[in-house]
Amino acid sequence: MSGLDTAIRFEHVTKSFDGTPVLDDMSFDVCRHTACCIMGRSGAGKSVTLKLLMGLLKPDAGEIHVNDLEIETLDSAGLVEVRKTMGFLFQYSALFDSLTVADNVAFPLRRHTRMTEREIADSVRERLAAVGLETELDKMPLDLSGGMRKRVGLARALALNPSILLVDEPSSGLDPITAREIDKLLIDLKSSNKTTIVVVTHNVPSARRIGDKLIIVNDGHIIAQGTAQELAASTNDVVKQFLSEV
């Protein structure tokens, strides 16, 4: 695969915490304008993978390329520029609880654009309308349900029109209907905005809906990767067991 087609490249990445290996020689890549779902048991290193991609953690060994830039070699200014092209939807949304919904979404726009307050307000309204929350502008995050918070988090992650979106457990703690709504938002985003999406999830049906490519991680290793059909044909016991838990 040529570098031009690849938005994300993970090469032999190793990461451990307090001597306990979480990722061990992990390699994969994600093509531009596609969605990749990383699945695995709890503690398999899925969320760590996303944080490594965002440069929130540094790998012990290996290389991580985002948009053809090796992010662990970047200085803080370089990392800021890369992060402007990425969005991150956290598992528990991580909304700033001292700011209103509107201010949460406006935050990256105020920091990184020269938009006027009127333009920012319009953009915030547009972003929140896209996730069905245009009437909740003045609410505080703590007044929202888990699903609403997740949608606000998505609106904030998309505020700067990132070319890459990282999503950590989009359906955790949500009812099936809300989880499907989030999935639909992500699928729309991939098809209409041509955003490259990396999703970490436990939810196999959700991963099948969203992902062009599925990766199954176990004990810090990738044990299978490919399309949903390719994984369904896998003979690996863990993969079969994982995919049968639907």
Contacts with another protein by CB under 8 A lie at 51, 54-56, 76, 79-81, 83-84, 86-88, 90-92, 94-97, 107-108, 111-112, 156-157
Got the DSSP string for 215-236?
EEEETTEEEEEE-HHHHHT---
Token pair of 113 as six digits: 């654009």
123 vs 225 by CB, closer to another protein: 123
Runs of H (alpha helix) within the chain: 46-54, 76-84, 101-112, 117-130, 146-157, 176-193, 204-210, 228-232, 237-244
| C-alpha torsion sign, points 196, 166, 206, 38 | positive
97 vs 237 by CB, closer to another protein: 97
* Closest distance to another protein from the beta carbon of 80 (Å): 5
Cα(197)–Cα(188) distance, integer angstroms: 11
* Closest distance to another protein from the beta carbon of 54 (Å): 5
* Closest distance to another protein from the beta carbon of 231 (Å): 29
5 vs 143 by CB, closer to another protein: 143
44 vs 157 by CB, closer to another protein: 157
* Closest distance to another protein from the beta carbon of 6 (Å): 21
